[in-house]
């Protein structure tokens, strides 16, 4: 049995989530939950120059970091694809 990662959200992510359409919000939160069991899914992309990863959910991107030693995933930003890389 693989161990589950704990999901944490950077404080600013709450504002990101408030801006999302309701139907997209549910899909995005399910996608974030899935990161607890598989933080590096097949469609993950490691961002160059950072220890950050991103996954797609429709037109939105979820940017996060993984701390393998303590089994944590930190969600850094959730935004539309045109805005997400403005960290």
Does residue 73 fall inside a structural domain? Answer: yes
Does residue 27 fall inside a structural domain? Answer: yes
* Whether 31 contacts 41, CB under 8 Å: no
> What is the spatial distance between Cα 24 and Cα 22, in angstroms, rounded to a whole number?
5
The parent domain of residue 21 ranges over 6-80
pLDDT digits (tens, 9 = 90+) for 31-67: 999 999 999 999 999 998 889 999 999 999 999 999 9
pLDDT band per the 50, 70, 90 thresholds, residue 74: very high
End-to-end CA distance of the chain: 36
In total, the chain counts a number of residues equal to 87
* Whether 56 contacts 28, CB under 8 Å: no
Nearest to 50 by CA among 63, 39, 59: 63
Does residue 35 fall inside a structural domain? Answer: yes
Asked whether the whole model's pTM tops 0.95, one would answer: no
Does residue 36 fall inside a structural domain? Answer: yes
Does residue 70 fall inside a structural domain? Answer: yes
> What is the spatial distance between Cα 15 and Cα 22, in angstroms, rounded to a whole number?
14
Across all residues in the chain, what is the average pLDDT?
A: 91
Instruction: Indicate the number of domains in the chain.
Output: 1
Does residue 86 fall inside a structural domain? Answer: no
Residue 1, pLDDT > 60, answer: no
Does residue 85 fall inside a structural domain? Answer: no
User: Domain containing 76 — which CATH number?
Assistant: 3.30.2310.20
What is the predicted pLDDT for the residue at 84?
80
């Amino acid at each position: 049995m693989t161990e589950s990662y704990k999901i944490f959200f950077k404080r600013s992510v709450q504002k990101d989530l408030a801006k999302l359409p309701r139907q997209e919000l549910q899909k995005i939160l399910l996608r974030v939950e899935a990161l607890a069991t598989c933080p590096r899914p097949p469609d993950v992309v490691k961002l160059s120059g950072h220890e950050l990863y991103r996954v797609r959910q429709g037109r939105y991107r979820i940017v996060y970091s993984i701390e393998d030693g303590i089994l944590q995933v930190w969600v850094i930003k959730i935004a539309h694809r045109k805005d997400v890389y403005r960290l």
